[in-house]
Amino acid sequence: MDKFEEIFNQLMEMLEEEKKEKIEELEGDCVCPICPSYNQCAKDSDEKLFCIIGKSEPCITNERGCMCPTCPLAAKFGIGVKYNFYCTRGSEIEHRKM
Q: Confirm or reject binding of residue 74 to ligand SF4 (CB under 6 A).
A: yes
- The residue among 18 and 81 lying less far from ligand SF4, judged by its C-beta, is 81
Answer for the pair 42, 88: CB distance below 8 angstroms, yes or no: no
Q: Is 91 in the site for ligand SF4 (CB under 6 A)?
A: no
| The residue count for the chain | 98
Query: DSSP states of 10-64 as a string?
Result: HHHHS-HHHHHHHHHHHHTT--GGGSTT--HHHHHTT---HHHH----SS-----
- Here's the x/- map for ligand SF4, 18-57, by CB under 6 A: it reads as ------------xxx--x-xx---------xxxx------
Q: Which is nearer to ligand SF4, 18 or 63 (CB)?
A: 63
Which part of the chain contacts ligand SF4 (CB under 6 A), choosing from 5-13, 14-22, 74-82?
Answer: 74-82
